[in-house]
A and B are shown apart, each in its own frame.
Chain A
Amino acid sequence: MNSIDHDQQADHFISQVSEDSPILSVRNLSVHFPIKRGFIVQREVARVRAVDGISFDIYPGETLGLVGESGSGKTTVAKSVMQLTKADVGSVKFEGQELVGLSTPAMRPIRRKIGMVFQDPYGSLNPRMRAGDIIGEPLKVHHLVESRENYRSQIASLLATVGLSSAMAERYPNEFSGGQRQRLGIARAIAAGPSMLILDEAVSALDVSIQAQVLNLLQDLQEKYSLAYLFIAHDLSVVRHISHRVAVMYLGRIVETATSSDMYENPLHPYTQALLSAIPTPNPVHERSRERIILRDDLPSPLDPPSGCRFHTRCPVATDLCSQTDPDLRVLASNQQAACLLAPGYSGAKGV
């Protein structure tokens, strides 16, 4: 695919939906994993509520950052959007079409429109395939190849788009550096002309100088092809940098959503406040002068989440009420929602 084709394709996908309607709309999504015991007769003894009733929208060309620590359920969200993990309850609509319950063959055309990039490019690239064929595979699967010549030129164009030379098509993944492998993973993800990418910790394993290059590449691609991104990461400073809006997850729930700037200027949920304060900045003057909120204890197990507000066991401001009442996400400002009983204006606010 040369870049002109690619542009047209991106335009084509965007034109299917109006600017105002979300490209991805997730409602009340829950994914529970049963824990089974027993030798011949297996009984369910517990459930991990990996994702527990979350809702969010992503608009065309927009980046939604999903941030959380281990066990928050952010990767499970990615998998259940792609129907790689089945949702127990809830709805996932992509370009208006319901994905929950779709069969694998019915999902295939959707997978062309949603690309995925993973944390470990080495683990997700077949070591026995040449780089060119790795990128070319989605083209073949989705019947986007007209001729041998066309296949080769599409690969060369994709490599150029992600900043690799066309000669690299002949090499194997082990001949690439970590950053180049991630570029390869991105080339594969955009090969079939998607309208959205799911990026799961896509830059987390990279060295900082390389991470910055890949973040800039992602921003360029978004602009060029009007891609929507679901950007999943544990590092709030990276998420804030690349996202238009941010959703903060804690133990299977979204506890706050806001625009990147509101999130930083005026975080409403105590967990968001603590996360922000825990992120170190390379500025000793700033770092030494600011007060740090140190949360007590470890993250509770998602197998047995705390009663009431799930954050109350670690929350610096929790009251007795917090251990009894489970707060829902409410609209507390334009573009800002939080699930905290103690957030200003919470009791009178509207639910999401």
Chain B
Amino acid sequence: MNSDLSVERLPLLRVRDLRTSFNTPEGKVTAVNGISFDVNHGETLGLVGESGCGKSVSALSIMRLVPNPPGVIERGEVIFEGTDLLKISEREMQLVRGVGIGMIFQEPMSSLNPVLTIGRQITEPLEVHLGLTGRAAENRATELLEMVGIADSRRRLSDHPHQLSGGQRQRVMIAIALSCEPKLLIADEATTALDVTIQAQILELMKNLTNQLGTALLIITHNLGVVARYADRLNVMYAGKIRESGTAEDVYMRPSHPYTVGLLNSVPRLDRPASERLDPIEGEIPDPSNLPPGCAFHPRCRWSISKCSLEDPVLERIETDQMVACFESKSVARATR
């Protein structure tokens, strides 16, 4: 991989105009429809949206794990450390997956192999990518388990996944994902299935470890609250596109896309009086195989004007670092400040 000094000045990951679609019996579904964003070295980026918005498919596309068929990455660039991941061979891509980018998913039980010991599953990437074998690999695996907070780690190496709790399994997944010290960790709804107190443990752990290792973190979630504490920047997705992006502070405190505003008003919040009635977004999440014309959000939008059903607005910079795809972003911004 390119280790030019100039690479340091580029973002760690640069996604440009990425488009991924699926061929289904109902026709072609464009799950990710031309998204562009950067992840800088060491930063934490949140990718937020509801079901079907394309956030998980974005992550799978970056990792080139979209099942093909039916999925196709139609176009775009995924430039990681100067190399376009969409242009390299599958063999080279495997190296990126192990050493460059680590990934953890929602359900650790389906990512872990039920018939192999925890130890074997941690030592495998160490062997393949770092050439560690035998005692050395085992020692490193023990260290990794300790690092993710599993007590009595040497003994736990011989456990099988079913002997661990949900939180412990997610800790093991983090140990595996970080075993080769990747530059980027992608966490796709990694804490969604966990109890709240365990969710808090895992989030703190991920944040602390990525801080220590200088790893950038891409947190994908439907829960706006989860990323508020950790994300430096935030992308909000709806119907396959990024509709708003900016620093966490800007997006949460000065939301300028009607969808972001609607999402924030939909969640019951501990920082607001309980008696306050929720102000939800009207209507249903659209069927990805049959999206409304123009801006896909317009049928649910309070600010929509006639133009919205004809033309799809592009992401435009409205303030220092905030990008919004909405014709009415100025009035939205005024209303929410």
Q: Which residue of A lies closest to B49 (CB)?
A: A207
Q: Are B281 and A286 in contact (CB under 8 A)?
A: no
Interface size of A in residues (CB-CB distance below 8 Å): 47
What's the tally of chain B residues with a CB closer than 8 Å to chain A? 44
> Which residue of the partner chain, among B201, B225, B282, contacts A294 with CB atoms under 8 Å?
B201
A41 at the interface (CB under 8 A from B): no
Interface centre among B197, B226, B252, B280 (most CB of A within 10 A): B197
0/1 string, A262-287, CB within 8 A of B gives 1: 00100000000011111111111111
Chain A CB within 8 A of B269 CB: yes
B253 interface residue per 8 A CB criterion = yes
A292–B204 CB distance below 8 A: yes
Q: How far is the CA of A264 from the CA of B226 in the complex (A)?
A: 19
Among the interface residues A177, A209, A287, which one has the most CB atoms of the partner chain B within 10 A? A209
Cβ contact within 8 Å between A281 and B270: yes
Q: How far, in Å, is B186 (CB) from chain A's closest CB? A: 20
- Whether A69 sits at the interface, judged by CB under 8 Å, is yes
**A159 → chain B closest CB, angstroms:** 16
Candidates B266, B270, B277; contact of A264 at CB < 8 Å: B270
Q: With a CB–CB cut-off of 8 A, which chain B residues contact A281?
A: 225, 228, 269-271
Contact between B196 and A283, CB atoms less than 8 A apart: no
Instruction: Compute how far the CA of A264 lies from the CA of B271 in the bound complex, rounded to whole angstroms.
Output: 10
Contact between A282 and B199 (Cβ–Cβ < 8 Å)? no
Which chain B residue lies CB-closest to A203?
A: B268
Query: Cβ of B196 and Cβ of A235 under 8 Å apart?
Result: yes
| A236 at the binding interface (Cβ < 8 Å) | yes
Does B262 touch A at the CB level, under 8 Å?
A: yes
Known A216-B278, A240-B270, A294-B204; contact A210-B285, beta-carbon cutoff 8 A: yes
Q: How far is the CB of B211 from chain A (nearest CB, A)?
A: 14
Once the chains are docked, how many angstroms separate the CA of A209 from the CA of B51? 11
- For B268, give the chain A residue with the smallest CB separation: A241
Q: How far is the CA of A241 from the CA of B274 in the complex (A)?
A: 5
A12 to B: closest C-beta gap in Å:
29
CA distance A207 to B224 in the complex (A): 11
User: Within 8 Å of chain B (Cβ to Cβ): is A347?
Assistant: no
**Which B residues lie within 8 Å of A242 (CB)?**
268
Q: Is the CB of A209 within 8 A of B229?
A: no
A287-B266 CB under 8 A given contacts A177-B284, A260-B274, A298-B167: no
Which residues from 207 to 225 on chain B have a C-beta closer than 8 Å to any C-beta of chain A?
Answer: 222-225
Q: Measured between alpha carbons, how far is A215 from B274 in the docked complex, in Å?
A: 13
Partner of B269, one of A70, A282, A292, A299: A282
Contacting pair B277 A216 (CB below 8 A): yes
Q: Residues of A contacting B277 with CB < 8 Å? A: 216, 219
Residues A298 and B51 in contact, CB atoms below 8 Å apart: no
- Chain A residue at minimum C-beta to C-beta distance from B229: A287
Chain A positions within 8 Å of B269 at CB level? 237, 281-283
Q: With A215-B268, A240-B270 given, is the CB distance from A282 to B224 under 8 Å?
A: yes
Provide the residues of chain B in CB contact with A260, threshold 8 Å.
Answer: 274
Are A285 and B223 in contact, with the CB atoms below 8 A? no
Q: Is the CB of B51 within 8 A of A207?
A: yes
Residue in A235, A261, A287 with the greatest tally of chain B CB atoms within 10 Å: A287
- Chain B residue numbers with a CB within 8 Å of A287 are 225, 228-229
Q: B168 at interface (Cβ–Cβ under 8 A)?
A: yes
Q: Assess the A69–B196 pair: CB atoms within 8 A.
A: yes
Q: A-B contact count, CB below 8 Å?
A: 137
| Any A CB within 8 A of the CB of B127 | no
Roughly how many angstroms separate A279 CA and B203 CA in the complex, as a whole number? 12
Which A-chain residue is minimally distant from B284 (CB atoms)?
A177
Q: Is the CB of A264 within 8 A of B285?
A: no
Does the CB pair A70–B270 fall under 8 Å? no
* Cα of A201 to Cα of B229 in the assembled complex, Å: 26
Q: Indicate if B249 sits at the interface (CB-CB under 8 A).
A: yes
Q: Does A213 sit at the interface, judged by CB under 8 A?
A: yes
**Residue A342 is within 8 A (CB to CB) of chain B in the complex:** no
Give chain B nearest CB distance to A65 CB in angstroms.
10
Q: A264–B274 contact, CB under 8 A? A: yes
* Distance to closest chain B CB from A203 (angstroms): 10
A212: interface (CB < 8 Å): yes
The answer to whether B268 and A240 have CB atoms under 8 Å apart is yes
Chain B residue numbers with a CB within 8 Å of A299 are: 165, 195, 197-198
Please name all residues of chain B whose beta carbon is closer than 8 Å to the beta carbon of A216 when the two chains form the complex.
Answer: 277-278, 280
CB contact list, A189-233 vs B, under 8 A: 207-213, 215-216, 219
Chain A residues near B281: list those with CB within 8 A.
Answer: 209, 212
Bound-state Cα–Cα, A318 to B248, Å: 37
Q: Give residues of chain B (150-198) contacting chain A, Cβ–Cβ below 8 Å.
A: 165, 167-168, 195-198
Is A6 located at the chain interface by the 8 A CB criterion?
no
Task: Give chain B residues whose Cβ lies under 8 Å from the Cβ of A303.
Answer: none
How far does the Cβ of A281 sit from chain B's closest Cβ, in whole Å? 5
> 1/0 per residue B226-246: CB within 8 Å of A?
101101000000000000000
Interface presence of B146 (CB below 8 A) = no
Establish whether residues A282 and B264, one from each chain, have CB atoms under 8 Å apart when the complex forms: yes
Which residue of the partner chain B has the closest CB to A295?
B197
Cβ–Cβ < 8 Å partners of B248 in chain A:
284
A211 contact from B198, B201, B266, Cβ within 8 A: B266
Q: How far is the CB of B90 from chain A (nearest CB, A)?
A: 35
* Chain A residue nearest in CB terms to B247: A284
Q: How far is the CB of B289 from chain A (nearest CB, A)?
A: 14
**17 A–B pairs (Cβ distance < 8 Å), ordered by A:** A177-B284, A207-B285, A208-B222, A208-B224, A212-B266, A212-B268, A212-B279, A219-B277, A237-B225, A264-B270, A275-B197, A280-B225, A281-B270, A283-B269, A285-B249, A298-B167, A299-B197
Residues of B within 8 A of A (CB): 50-51, 165, 167-168, 195-201, 204, 222-226, 228-229, 231, 248-249, 252-253, 262-271, 274, 277-282, 284-285
Which residues of A come within 8 Å of B, CB atoms? 69-70, 177, 179-180, 207-213, 215-216, 219, 234-238, 240-242, 260-261, 264, 274-288, 292, 294-295, 298-299, 314
Q: Which 3 A-B pairs have the closest CB atoms?
A: A280-B225, A212-B280, A241-B268
Additional A-B contacts beyond A209-B266, A234-B196, A278-B200 (7; CB < 8 A)? A216-B277, A216-B280, A219-B277, A264-B274, A278-B196, A283-B228, A287-B228
